[in-house]
Structure 1
Amino acid sequence: MGSKRDRDTLTILHTNDLHSHFEQMGRIAAFILAEKAQGKPVCTLDVGDHMDRMAIETEGSLGRANVDILNRSGYDAVTIGNNEGLTFTPAQLGEAYASLRCPVICGNVRLEDGSLPPWLKTSAVVESGGFRIGVLGLTAPFTDFYKLLGIDATDPFAALQERVNELRERADIVVLLSHLGLASDERIAGMTQGIDLILGGHTHHLLEEPIAIGGTTVCAAGKFGRHIGRIVVERSAETGGCVVAEAGLVLLDDAPSDDRTDRAIAMHHEEALERLRRVAAVSDRDLPIDYESESQLGNLLAQSVRQFAGGEFSLVNSGQALGPVPAGEITEGMLHALCPSPINPCVVTLRGSDILRSLEQSLLPEYTGRKLTGFGFRGERLGGLCADGLTIVYDPAGEAYARIVEVRTSERTIEADGEYRVGTLDMFTFGAGYESLSRGTDKTFILPEFLRDLLRMELGRPGAAEQAAMPRWVPSGAQSGLNAGGIEVERRRNQS
């Protein structure tokens, strides 16, 4: 039998923003199982973005592989991040979470009719070794995007104090799973009474030492499962009240892994590969990609957005494609490997000056070669801008930001003070990559289709490949220098 101290302590383990890094999940499972094997009360929580459709296992199972590993690891409650809420439909999440053996908790998302999805709770009380852990959850309210999926994402701060007060009456300790980011976590801690712990995520912050604000302890475990958070809560023998006695992180990079979990992950990988072997499209030719110059696949990406989303013309960065399209059958797995980013199309109104500036930047190696992370982007570099519906005349020998000679559609010239409806990608609206494209207004987002879905449709459109061979970027005075295929593949637009 354990000591009195053992019987009066609770260990809380927490993860966040794993983003389907399955290579770490066996280590996490081993750590959780080892903690539970000591016979002390343990509660294990995840703060969202456990799923990421860049991973073969997640894409091929639509999240069911993640749920299986959550079950095998022994989680007691989870919340959703934007990678769960915005890259899956509510129905797909319902299918994935149907086998989850713990509650999914989030207090600021509902269906459009005001009801909760059947797989979601606004709060829960988890019991472990005589401790009652009250759990709340909140997720980043990307309201416009959620609305397109039939979900109402509301202000996470509204009525939070009332929910805490209600849960406080039923629990020994109140924990908030916050997929909002560190700034919001600190704001909640400062404005809300009665939350003992805020476990954070979304901004991938790593708090090696917890932050104490009033009576609240704020913790977070970084990203990708490299760390697991470990908190010890003590209950006073005299008052029965609970306090956070210890809070820190454990680095798992060299930790042992659980063999059974690793075998399950390997099985999910093989099953996902089998599902993704289905033929999605057929290409009658090789379609090369170039990250500094115009290429057929880059043009095809831009065409796919304009065909699906509309707009006078479209602008897409070539870095969305991680490689070329070969001739022959294109499987779903090939499309996923080619365009792994959960990027959606949109249409925005942009001023001509912002369009022209972004095209000038597309001629600069510091933009085409830029490394970019976040905003849903899973590519290796930003790449240049690919266009459809535009002819861009430029001077390769001109000075930076003075190389664009003329830009025109089939009907009009792009003027600095004009306004234009442009088909593009949602990540640009967040200020990622070509920053001037974030200044658009009257934004129309389109979900749930990803860019790879649009590419699949465009590969099946008669004449699309031939259209993609027609040049859009034309050196001034060199229109006759194009080869029979339409694109002068040796040309480098960023020459100076």
Structure 2
Amino acid sequence: MTEAMQAQVVLLHSNDIHSRLENAARIAAIIADERRVMGAHRVLAVDIGDHMDRMRMETEGSEGRVNLALLQEAGYEAITLGNNEGLTYTGAALHELYSSPSRFAVVCANMTLDSTGERPDWMQPGIILEKNGLSIGLVGATANFHPFYKLLGWTTTAPLEAIREQVSLLRSRCDVMVVMSHLGLPLDRQMAEEVPGIDLILGAHTHHLLEEPIVMGETTICAAGKFGDYIGRVEIRIDSATGKPVFSACCLPTGAYAERPEAEAIISAYGEEAKLRLGKVLATLDHPLPARVDRESALPNLLAAGLRRLAEAEIGLVNAGQLLGGLAIGDVSAGELHALCPSPINPCRMMIAGAHLREALEQSLLSEFVYKPIRGFGFRGEVLGMLAVDGLSITYDASCPPMNRILHMEVGGEPFQDERVYSVGSIDMFSFRAGYESLANGESYSFFLPEFIRDVIAGELLSESALACCNQPRWRPIG
């Protein structure tokens, strides 16, 4: 093999697995195979965040320990945090996970603890790893959801400035400068243009699959899609004439690989543990709570009422598509509630003008919104669904023209006013202009973390008055 063909190091990168644990087990097999063929001293494996997703039973039931165990067993040497790690777990939970003995480094340059202004002991802004005679600098960064992180005791900063600082510190000490970027492709492109000294950007967050890398100036950008359907593979060598790194990159589909038996055993063990933990009975119902996406039903109403109470608001409002099914008579377990509402979406309190609420409520009467598919924003359902409300009564005529079907509304017995600003208990997804986009036009938003909307339902299931009221109609058709 000629020098031009030789790979001094093979870098394997995964991202946005979102607890597709079977694919994580396949990736573990690929990593093991690369180490067997190339030699462990020539293979570096890193993960670029969102390995965890609490929609998965094993992840929810183990507080993320199944993901940690899979990363360790596969022999990852460095990871960065995605928003699914950083925003769906408390700081204490992350400390318990990552401060335990680990074979990998947690690398993130734009996160510090509010309490100290420093990073926890288990986090580093950047590191240098030696592989087969190459010094490889790694800097990590995560998406800057500052208001949300603040509620969990973190401060996040502008990622490109944090990356620039770390690159300037490490560049002279390494042969290859790599950024592990859970920022999304648009910011990766901006980084390549604006931050000098970066050789390779490994991307995540926006789920882009770059089967061919993007080359911008002297920087190469790679990304391996989502859900572990692919793993990125980058061959690295140093050009003898220029002394600069040369990359040959691709994405390998994982579906053809068998799951690594050691990883399968980890998934199975944590699955049994999760069944026991999530088997806890939260409440016992003496009447069913159905959930429909296309018409008013009891369980979405119960959730809307719980959001209103939590936010101490005049109105409660949520899309029915957040719920994947209803609840039957009898015991309700934590696992059942998790299965019906697996999203990491958080409650919020918005202050918003009546006109923007009316627009969303009119859209809620249109099938193109009720059945609109939604992806991202923490949503784990299939379609948007109609709006369930509380504290609000709506009289409408479905035979009227679209966007003119609501005839009358009342809030607390008083006529609804388009020009008035209302307090609304709702969900953070709407603030991102997702689904019912007019709900992103609020004057202010206050978010509740670490509560998930399934926690709101769990509390309402213990309230006899809430259970009695959720069957009372809020939407009243005429004609």
TM-score (norm 2): 0.96
The equivalent residue for 1:483 is none
Give the corresponding residue for 1:70.
71
Q: Give a deviation string over 1:349-369, Cα, whole Å, max 9, x none.
A: 111111111111111111111
Contact 1:9/1:234 (8 A) holds in 2:
yes
Q: Which amino acid aligns with 2:219?
A: T
Shift in Å at residue 204 of structure 1? 0.4
Residue 458 (str. 1) matches residue 460 (str. 2): yes
| CA–CA distance in structure 1, aligned partners of residues 197 and 446 of structure 2 | 40
Which residue in the other structure is 1:22 paired with? 21
Offset of residue 254 of structure 1: 1.5
- The correspondence of residues 295-374 of structure 1 with structure 2, limited to 5 A, is 295-374=297-376
Contact 1:67 1:99 in 2 (8 A): no
CA-to-aligned-CA distance 1:343-401 (integer Å, 9 cap, x gap): 11101111111111111111111111111110000012111100110010111221211
- Residue in 1 that maps onto 2:126: 123
Distance 1:162 1:271 in 2: 43
- Alignment partner of 1:137 is 2:136: no
Partner of 1:60: 61
Matched, 1:94 2:83: no
- SS of the residue aligned with 2:160? coil
What letter is aligned with 2:379?
F
What amino acid does structure 2 have at the position aligned with 1:251? P
Tell me which amino acid in the other structure corresponds to 2:64: G
Provide the secondary structure at the position in 1 that maps to 2:351: strand
1:390 to 389, 392, 395: 392
Distance 2:384 2:70 in 1: 33
Amino acid in structure 1 at the alignment position of 2:279: R
Question: Matches of 1:292 and 1:237 in 2, distance apart?
Answer: 65
Cα deviation code 1:66-110 (max 9, x no counterpart)? 010001111110000110010001111111222432111100011
- Say which of 188, 199, 203 aligns to 2:202: 199
Q: Distance in 1 between matches of 2:340 and 2:211?
A: 36
Q: Secondary structure at the match of 1:254?
A: coil
Give the match for residue 36 of structure 1.
Answer: 35
Computed over aligned residues only, the root mean square deviation of the Cα atoms, in angstroms, reads 1.6
Rounded to whole Å, the distance in 2 between the matches of 1:8 and 1:400 is 62
Partners of 1:161 and 1:369 in 2: how far apart? 44
| Correspondence list, 1:89-488, <5 A | 89-97=90-98, 98-112=100-114, 113-237=116-240, 241-476=243-478
Indicate the SS of the match to 1:470: coil
Q: Secondary structure at the match of 1:176?
A: strand
The answer to whether the Cα contact below 8 Å between 1:12 and 1:232 also exists between their aligned partners in 2 is: yes
- Give, in angstroms, the shift of residue 257 of structure 1: 2.3
Contact 1:88–1:448 (CA<8 Å) still a contact in 2? Answer: yes
Determine the C-alpha separation between the residues in 1 that align with 2:286 and 2:2.
72
Which 10-residue stretch deviates more, 188-197 or 164-173?
A: 164-173
CA distance in 2 between partners of 1:53 and 1:430 (Å): 20
SS of 1:245 mapped into structure 2 = strand
Q: Give CA-to-partner distance per residue, 1:87-138, whole Å, 9 cap, x none.
A: 0011111112224321111000111131112321111112222222111001
Within 1, Cα distance between the matches of 2:3 and 2:361?
Answer: 69
Contact preservation (8 Å) 2:140, 2:179: yes
How far is 1:422 from its partner?
Answer: 0.9
More deviation, 76-85/91-100: 91-100
Which letter maps to 2:181?
S
Partner of 1:484: none
The answer to whether 1:85 aligns with 2:76 is no
Structure 2, gaps ≥5 residues long? none
Relative to structure 1, the CA distance from residue 187 to residue 262 in structure 2 (aligned partners, 3 Å threshold; closer, same or farther) is same
Indicate conservation of the 8 Å contact 2:140/2:163, yes or no: no
Distance of 2:412 and 2:440 partners within structure 1: 25
Q: Please identify, of 390-399 and 280-289, the stretch whose mean Cα deviation from structure 2 is larger.
A: 280-289
Task: Using the TM superposition, give the Cα deviation of residue 284 of structure 1 relative to its aligned residue in structure 2, in angstroms.
Answer: 2.6
Q: Is the 8 Å Cα contact of residues 70 and 100 (structure 1) preserved in structure 2?
A: no
Task: Tell me: CA distance 1:7–1:129, structure 2 relative to 1, closer, same or farther (3 Å).
Answer: farther
Q: Following TM superposition, by how much is the alpha carbon of 1:3 offset from its aligned partner in structure 2, in angstroms? A: 9.1
Distance 1:223 1:99 in 2: 28
Where does the alignment leave 5 or more consecutive residues of structure 1 unmatched? 478-496
Letter matched to residue 297 of structure 1? L
CA distance in 2, matches of 1:108, 1:87: 18
Counterparts of 1:245 and 1:316, CA distance in 2: 48
CA contact (8 A) 1:233 1:242 kept: no
Q: Distance in 1 between matches of 2:162 and 2:269?
A: 44
Residue 21 of structure 1 and its aligned partner are, at CA, apart by 0.5
SS at match of 2:422: strand
Higher mean C-alpha displacement, 155-164 vs 86-95: 155-164
Give CA deviations for 1:266-297 in whole Å, capped at 9, x if unaligned.
22212111111111222232111111111111
1:257 match: secondary structure: coil
Q: Between the two proteins, what is the percent identity of the paired residues? A: 46
Whole-Å separation in 1 of the counterparts to 2:136 and 2:103: 17
Give the C-alpha shift of residue 159 in structure 1. Answer: 4.6
Cα distance in 1, alignment partners of residues 149 and 204 from structure 2:
19
Query: Is the partner of 1:408 in helix, strand or coil?
Result: strand
Letter in 2 for 1:104: V
Structure 1 CA distance for aligned equivalents of residues 91 and 148 of structure 2: 13
Tell me which amino acid in the other structure corresponds to 1:139: T
Give secondary structure in 2 for the equivalent of 1:37: helix
